[in-house]
Structure 1
Amino acid sequence: MTIEEAQKAVDEWIKTYGVRYFSELTNMACLTEEVGELAKVIARKYGDQSFKEGENDNLADEMADVMWVLMCIANQTGVDLTDALQKNIEKKTKRDKTRHINNPKLK
């Protein structure tokens, strides 16, 4: 599935099952919540914390939740994430093409 296809699939789901998009502000709060849930799993899996009883290592699902809400926000604000990501990669390449290679902390 491409990013474009994913954005369309999210839009179709919202129109079929979700009634309507939440407001942009509500979706921003939802995105923050989902990023927090992802952070909790990463802290437990890769950090110093351990999973509590009943918690799951659902890393992929939490990442997908973040992508879902981000795509909702992109859809409702008219952002083509494929185009935005391509431009962002170009920007980073132009700006940082030697920055990391020459960073002694990364060697």
Structure 2
Amino acid sequence: MDAYISQFKEGYFSPLSLMARLTEETGELAREVNHYYGEKPKKATEKSKSMEEELGDIIFVLTCFANSLNINLSEAFQIAMEKIETRDKDRWTRNDSSLE
């Protein structure tokens, strides 16, 4: 990501702009989910977008956001997983295969 962004003089957007863009992209994913699983069908005039495309957009913006703040996204994810695995270890019923 840094190699891509560093080729432009503007660099990363500000954290506030990135937060707004992340919110916008999340809204676009929500719209696609609603079209696919909800009661709101697409209009004939609406461009077809996939949830895969929208998730990719979110990952792009989230990576920009983390990099702009010098946050290692892999480390942040590992911290989250450790927290979830500890906090939620008994929250749900495990599959029989996961008990081995």
TM-score range, shorter chain: 0.7 to 0.9
1:59 paired residue number? 51
Percent identity over the alignment is 38
1:69 paired residue number? 61
Q: Note the aligned Cα RMSD (angstroms).
A: 1.6
1:1-107 superposed matches below 5 A: 10-17=1-8, 19-53=10-44, 54-101=46-93
Identify if the C-alpha distance between structure 1 residues 34 and 20 changes in structure 2 by more than 3 Å, giving closer, same or farther: same
**Structure 1 stretch 55-64 or stretch 13-22: which is displaced more?**
13-22
TM-score between both structures, scaled by the size of structure 1 = 0.79
Instruction: Give, in whole Å, the separation in 1 of the partners of 2:23 and 2:61.
Output: 9
Q: Flag the structure with higher helix content.
A: 1
Structure 1 outlier segments of 4+, above 2 Å:
none
Long gaps (5+) in structure 1: 1-9, 103-107
1:23, distance to aligned residue in structure 2 (A): 0.8
Long gaps (5+) in structure 2: 95-100
